[in-house]
Chains A and B, each alone.
Chain A
Amino acid sequence: MKSMEELVNVYFRPGRLPHLWCPGCGNGVILGALLKAIDAEGLEKDNVAIISGIGCSSRASGYVDFNTANTLHGRALPISTGLKMARPDLNVITLSGDGDCSAIGGNHLIHAVRRNVGLTLVVFNNSIYGMTGGQYSPLTPIGSRATTAPYLTIEPSFDILALAQAAGATFTARATTYHVPVLVDVLRKGIRHDGFSIIEVVTGCPTNFGRQNKIGAPALMMEWQKDHAVPRAAWEKLDDEARRGKFPIGVLFERTDEKEYTKAYDEIIERAQAAKKEETA
């Protein structure tokens, strides 16, 4: 296993550090964990595509030396899907934020999940629109302050993994930027999963969420993650009262009874070509 310093040397494009993320932003931790996972899985750079939308999280694609695209707000999943259809042999990893993925790109999310396209979606959930300066997203906890919610939000937030599961997900997982080993582990499992995998990563935005909601220093946002995340095995043993305000981490759901989309499409090609042969015979 390479050290983090080696991983940076191997996988970062030269001259791309320091990155543009704010002091204490968790996005760098997620990107580092992703590199660890890709390396541990033994993927070739040429066979990895990293496709992102728009937002703080989506700037990650430009830093790393793979086939990469920083596309449009909310549209990373359709572009990833098209790429996967063209090149099923590629490991297509989609990076998105909570706003990118669950608001403007929400429709694409549920349908990519439903189709079980072989993509690995990593949702950087920092509970806020960071790039535009702190507006609330569909994953901002109710009662939070945002620049567009000066009197606190009244909108309940999505549980994005429950949403994905309702849409027919075959793999859901969650980690935080505090629980790095868990994060690397679920990323590896998500990459390995033959179908659509969604991995929510709870991360801190000290500048635009933390400050407005008086959470304090970046380290305290990580401390909050430590206190509120519960490994799945322990979570299963908690009663409703003990679960209140907390959330489970780890692989939350996985099934393998459904064919990955591009593999299923190969059957369409077989059927069409058989029918054509019959027609011309």
Chain B
Amino acid sequence: MGRVLLLQGNQAVVEGAIAAGVRFYGGYPITPSTEIAEGMAKRLPEVGGKFMQTEDELAGIGTVIGASMGGVKAMTATSGPGFSLKQEMIGLACSAEIPCVIVNVQRVGPATGQPTSPAQGDVMQARWGTHGDHWLIAVSPSSVPECFDLTRRAVALSETYRCPVILLMDEIVGHMRERIELPDSYEHLPVVKRKAPSVPPEEYMAYADTDGSKVPAMAAFGSGYRWHVSGLVHDETGFPKGTPAATKNSQDRLREKLAKNEEDIVKAERYRADDADVVVVAYGGAARTAYDAVDLARGAGIRAGLFRPITIWPFAERAIGELTQKAKCLLVHELNCGQYVREVERAVKGRVPVRLYAKYDNEPATPEQLLAEIRKAAEGIKEGRQ
């Protein structure tokens, strides 16, 4: 038995979080993410969880990190300005390897920008927002049902890899209402638990790679395993150690723990892309336009397809590189002045032309607008130029 509902993307995130076992939320209201806070305020205590409206964005993610240290799955949500404010804490979560999920419902920026208009201008900030080299995961849903699924996946990834996961939404997906089918009860849904120590407390080292996975086991505070969390460079014991070797070892492991597991982490959807000459690369809300545009192009005799990265970071470098075996041109469409396109160009290494359809005027593209760009790309191929 299931329920068929008409939900906003933001509401589906709330349900996904509850289903994933999130039992703490700390956050600050900000458009266009506020419905997530409102939903968590209502839903969490129903399932014995806790919600806090904190004094600011920093405290929002701070309480989340604290709750996660206590062994509780924890999440926060924000948008643009709030995402900027959370960056220092995201760095702490990367360094100290504290699982947590940060939802960023992107709006037009910089500064106050356009709070109720969609944009995808935070895609590079999601990767490089905090200072210093660091590695994290970002996933981006394109529909309301996917908001539910990807929230669960974000929680699972975060717990599995002991790292912060950004659920990178945009105002389109956050505020859009769609049909979604949800189970009556979430009890039978699998819930991922973080890896518990396999050694007695006196042998436990909070940052030791004991099984070759590069992901150390994490004991909850108060579980009998006493350890030290630090944002200073630390060795496998968790205590500060600033030697060149300790610094490099720490960075290497943090990088490798995601790189080594890319097959599990990096996901994408291919729509009519197998034989396509022109492959549109689009994610999140912008990808919604692309399904229709691809169909329209096919109707007009252009072999077009869509490659939709679901995992935004780590970047789908191999999959995008492989697209060039068939495709004659990649057309990146994003709701910013051109950010992800640079990563695509890097992966393609000049083997085929990479075009950009950047839309940054507060409005998503129409399928016809994107179709016009696909036509230009197809003509470019015909004429043997970009």
Contact = CB atoms under 8 A, between A and B. Distances in A.
B230 A72 contact: no
A82 B24 contact: yes
A199 interface: no
Contacts, number: 147
A71 B231 contact: yes
Chain A contact patch, size range: 35 or more
A275 B59 CA distance: 29
B24 A70 contact: no
A72 B67 CA distance: 16
A137 B24 CA distance: 34
Interface stretch (A46-54, A183-191, A200-208, A228-236): A46-54
Contacts of B314: none
B222 A89 contact: yes
Interface stretch (A29-37, A251-259, A264-272): A264-272
Contacts of A49: 221-222
A47 B222 contact: yes
Given A49-B222, A82-B26, A72 B88 contact: yes
B274 interface: no
A67 B221 contact: yes
Given A67-B221, A70-B232, A86 B62 contact: no
Contacts of B67: 82-83, 85-86
A66 interface: yes
Contacts of A46: 222-224, 226
Contacts of A273: 45-46, 48
Given A79-B62, A90-B221, A70 B231 contact: yes
A45 B226 contact: yes
A82 B66 contact: yes
Given A62-B239, A90-B222, A85 B55 contact: no
Contacts of B54: 78, 111
Contacts of B55: 107-108, 110-111
Q: Classify the interface of chain B: helix, strand, loop or mixed.
A: mixed
Interface in A23-44: none
B187 to A, nearest CB: 15
A65 interface: yes
B62 A272 contact: no
Contacts of B231: 54, 70-72
Given A86-B24, A89-B222, A107-B55, A69 B228 contact: yes
A153 interface: no
Interface of A: 45-47, 49, 51, 54, 61-62, 65-72, 75, 77-87, 89-90, 107-108, 110-111, 265, 268-269, 271-273, 275-276
